[in-house]
Amino acid sequence: FDMFVLAFVERLFRPTYRKDDFVLGKKLGEGAFGVVYRASLAKKSSSKKEGDLVLKKATEYGAVEIWMNERVRRACANSCADFVYGFLETSSKKGAEYWLLWRFEGEDTLSDLMQSKEFPYNVETMITGKIQDLPKGLERENRIIQTIMRQLLFALDGLHSTGIVHRDIKPQNVIFSEGSRTFKIIDLGAAADLRVGINYIPKEFLLDPRYAAPEQYIMSTQTPSAPSAPVATALSPVLWQLNLPDRFDIYSSGLIFLQMAIPALHSDNSFIQFKRQLKRCDYDLDAWRKSVEPRASLELRRGFELLDLDGGIGWELLTSMVRYKARKRTSAKAALAHPYFDKEGLLVLSLMQ
Ligand code: ADP
Ligand code: MG
């Protein structure tokens, strides 16, 4: 049995939908390649119970995004938002449009939560389901950030073990799932499945320059070009090992870690300034720290202090993720085994259990 046959059979037994089945709600986002709405099922189709949904109407790249979501659904369902269905909708007015549907996971992305003055305490309440009766301080903040990083790396490890590189990891693409009380990854619109060669040619213009790693191509340009259609000639895992394309996402995740630890870097302006400084230091975080520490603001110093807790183990993890050379960066799996995660994190009280 080949995976495409399995995928086809699995899809046959799932409910199918069409355009008229949905009622559109509030617009949640709009990018160059699609518009995202909150949606629900129209009354006449309510025999199919799906609850609150999210609908993305996408352009030609929607085909790849549907393929990625189908694959995630089968291989690492807990890593990403729960995908419901995807189909092609053609009309004389709008031409071809891909419709993608997910279960509505919750109101907030990590970006929304980081905007709050309460961060990271607002996340603590969402994860544990209660207000903690503990004094606020660095230790507690570190514990919350550690829990978020563990959940993010866990989801990434799932994707990477499946052979998928996300390529657009950023706080806006990490959603808090109210059902499972954990963070999940969304937006596979720029993702690449390197084992089967889907979306193999990197589309740099899709990448967000704020969080993208410095390398231009996530695969070596020496690698023979892979087929562009989902055919069975899977890209060798050996090539994956050689090129380490997954380290692109690790770099972006490291930047998220840094931003969570240092609220002074939450705003777009200060983050852009930081990126400029880092580039001037040849992407060496230690060199950057040395250059800014003498005249650092109180907030910045407090962030360094958090990363220095327990013998500087947080800073150690951070610098193993944010490195210029991809092959020097740690993997998601290795990062999860880092001593930074040895301490107990927050207790997740899942509503599903
Ligand atoms: P875009 O291509 O516009 O970035 P995304 O897939 O990132 O599309 O979705 C845009 C926004 O919609 C997200 O930032 C998030 O706020 C919201 N969103 C997307 N998927 C979900 C989901 N499953 N549950 C809740 N909100 C979602
Ligand atoms: Mg997005």
> pLDDT tens digits, residue range 135-163?
999 999 999 999 999 999 999 999 999 99
For residue 106, give the ligand 1 atom closest to its CA. 25
The CA 23 to ligand 1 mean position distance, Å, reads: 17
Query: Quick one: average pLDDT of 21-27?
Result: 93
Would you state the pLDDT for residue 129? 87
Look at 213 and 176; give whichever has higher pLDDT. Answer: 176
Longest dimension (CA), the chain: 66
The answer to whether the CB of 189 is under 6 A from ligand 1 is yes
Tell me whether the omega of the peptide bond preceding residue 171 falls within 30 degrees of 0, making it cis: no
The answer to whether the CB of 109 is under 6 A from ligand 1 is yes
What is the pLDDT confidence band of residue 214, given thresholds at 50, 70 and 90?
confident
For residue 30, give the ligand 1 atom closest to its CA. 3
Q: Which ligand is nearest to the CA of 189?
A: 1
The answer to whether the CB of 102 is under 6 A from ligand 1 is yes
The CA 107 to ligand 2 mean position distance, Å, reads: 14
* Percent of the chain clearing pLDDT 70 (strictly above): 82
- Measured distance CA(71)–CA(65) in Å, rounded: 10
Which residues are CB-contacts of 57 (< 8 A; sequence separation ≥ 6)?
34, 35, 37, 89, 97, 98, 99
Would you state the pLDDT for residue 15? 73
- Measured distance CA(83)–CA(135) in Å, rounded: 40
The answer to whether the CB of 81 is under 6 A from ligand 1 is yes
**Whose alpha carbon is nearest atom 1 of ligand 1?**
31
Report strand pairing: 95-103 vs 164-165. unpaired
The answer to whether the CB of 29 is under 6 A from ligand 1 is yes
Q: Which of 8-17, 130-139, 148-157, 266-275 has the lowest mean pLDDT?
A: 8-17
The CA 172 to ligand 2 mean position distance, Å, reads: 6
Query: Quick one: average pLDDT of 172-179?
Result: 97
Pocket probe mutation, ligand 1, options 186, 188, 203, 208, max atoms within 8 Å of Cβ: 186
For residue 187, give the ligand 1 atom closest to its CA. 6
- Measured distance CA(196)–CA(192) in Å, rounded: 9
Dihedral, CA of residue 178, residue 184, residue 190 and residue 194, to nearest 10: -150
Would you state the pLDDT for residue 59? 87
The answer to whether the CB of 193 is under 6 A from ligand 1 is no
- Measured distance CA(331)–CA(244) in Å, rounded: 9
Q: Evaluate if pTM is beyond 0.80.
A: yes
The CA 28 to ligand 1 mean position distance, Å, reads: 7
Q: In the structure, how many helices (H) and strands (E) does the chain have?
A: 11, 9
Which residues are CB-contacts of 32 (< 8 A; sequence separation ≥ 6)?
none
For residue 109, give the ligand 1 atom closest to its CA. 16
Would you state the pLDDT for residue 142? 97
The answer to whether the CB of 171 is under 6 A from ligand 1 is no
SS3 category, 54 = strand
CB 207 within 8 A of CB 170: no
The CA 21 to ligand 2 mean position distance, Å, reads: 25
Would you state the pLDDT for residue 57? 95
Q: Which of 27-31, 228-232, 280-284, 305-309 has the lowest mean pLDDT?
A: 228-232
Would you state the pLDDT for residue 130? 83
- Give catalytic residue positions: 168
- The overall average pLDDT reported for the chain is 87
Look at 163 and 12; give whichever has higher pLDDT. Answer: 163
Which residues are CB-contacts of 86 (< 8 A; sequence separation ≥ 6)?
62, 65, 66, 69, 70, 98, 99, 100, 101
Q: Is the pLDDT of residue 225 over 50?
A: no
ipTM > 0.95 (yes/no): yes
Would you state the pLDDT for residue 344? 84
**Whose alpha carbon is nearest atom 11 of ligand 1?**
29
**Whose alpha carbon is nearest atom 6 of ligand 1?**
187
For residue 172, give the ligand 1 atom closest to its CA. 14
> pLDDT tens digits, residue range 317-326?
999 999 999 9
The answer to whether the CB of 31 is under 6 A from ligand 1 is yes
The CA 208 to ligand 2 mean position distance, Å, reads: 10
> pLDDT tens digits, residue range 54-102?
999 998 888 889 999 999 999 999 999 999 999 998 888 878 899 999 9
What is the pLDDT confidence band of residue 198, given thresholds at 50, 70 and 90?
low
Query: Quick one: average pLDDT of 165-183?
Result: 96
Would you state the pLDDT for residue 220? 43
| DSSP annotation of 293 | G
> pLDDT tens digits, residue range 90-123?
888 878 899 999 999 999 999 999 999 999 999 9
Measured CA distances, 5 to 17, 18, 62, 77, 155 (Å) = 21, 23, 21, 19, 26
Q: Which ligand is nearest to the CA of 32?
A: 1
**Nearest in space to 158 (alpha carbons), one of 235, 80, 67:** 80
